[in-house]
């Protein structure tokens, strides 16, 4: 079974959860990267505006093709009660292509459900599971039990993934002997 954990992280919290999850699942890790940076107060304001307006910023080329995985786990920070704009771009780019997905988000306190709704809409697929991790729990390292449960669920989902689309097999014919 092959699992990809794709995530966007502006300040490192979602990245920490993604890395811990990938280690438990023996999964490949794919940071979602943009062509522009969004640090500082200007980056914060831009992030807020983009999340509210449903903007989809340009992403850098990816190193992992999600089509090759039984399960793609996608992580996002919550921005103004919405999915982060780079994750919206990622999901939209793979709409109709990812066979099986699960979502997680990190947040200060509010907005997880609407962020998950945004993710469903952008990907056009119902995820097998959604999990929210609060900054407070992550900082206090009290999120590990939830992380283990989430990982166990994802492992089981990946094992019963719908069949992969295989490349056409070569036309091998039994040679005829006279």
Cβ-based neighbours of 59, under 8 Å, separated by 6 or more: 32, 33, 34, 35, 86, 89, 90, 93
CA dihedral over 50, 55, 61, 64, signed as positive or negative: positive
**Residue 108 CA: distances (Å) to CA of 16, 47, 53, 138, 172:** 15, 15, 21, 10, 57
The correct pick among 31, 66, 86, 111 for binding ligand FMN (CB under 6 A) is 111
The correct pick among 107, 125, 128, 147 for binding ligand FMN (CB under 6 A) is 107
Near ligand FMN in 143-172, by CB under 6 A = none
Instruction: Indicate whether 4 belongs to the interface with ligand FMN (CB under 6 A).
Output: no
Instruction: Indicate whether 19 belongs to the interface with ligand FMN (CB under 6 A).
Output: no
Instruction: Indicate whether 13 belongs to the interface with ligand FMN (CB under 6 A).
Output: yes
Q: Residue 84 and residue 122: Cα distance in Å, rounded?
A: 12
Instruction: Indicate whether 48 belongs to the interface with ligand FMN (CB under 6 A).
Output: yes
The correct pick among 77, 101, 102, 151 for binding ligand FMN (CB under 6 A) is 77
Minimal distance in Å, beta carbon 16 to ligand FMN? Answer: 8
Minimal distance in Å, beta carbon 25 to ligand FMN? Answer: 19
**Residue 94 CA: distances (Å) to CA of 18, 22, 111, 127, 165:** 19, 20, 23, 14, 15
Query: Which residues of this protein are in contact with ligand FMN, per CB under 6 A?
Result: 9-15, 44, 47-48, 77-81, 106-111, 135
């Amino acid at each position: 079974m092959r699992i990809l954990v794709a995530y966007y992280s502006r300040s490192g919290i979602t990245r920490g959860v993604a890395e811990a999850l990938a280690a438990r699942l023996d999964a490949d890790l794919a940071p979602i990267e943009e062509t522009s940076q969004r640090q500082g107060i200007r980056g914060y304001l831009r992030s807020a505006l983009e999340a509210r307006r449903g903007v989809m910023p340009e992403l850098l080329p990816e190193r992992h093709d999600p089509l090759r995985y039984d399960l793609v786990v996608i992580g996002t920070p919550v921005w103004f009660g919405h999915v982060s704009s780079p994750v919206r771009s990622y999901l939209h780019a793979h709409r109709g292509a990812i066979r099986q997905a699960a979502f997680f988000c990190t947040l200060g306190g509010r907005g997880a459900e609407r962020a998950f709704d945004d993710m469903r809409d952008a990907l056009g697929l119902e995820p097998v599971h959604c999990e929210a991790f609060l900054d407070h729990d992550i900082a206090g390292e009290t999120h590990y039990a939830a992380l283990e449960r989430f990982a166990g669920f994802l492992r089981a989902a990946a094992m019963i993934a719908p069949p992969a689309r295989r490349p056409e097999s070569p036309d091998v014919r039994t040679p005829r002997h006279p």
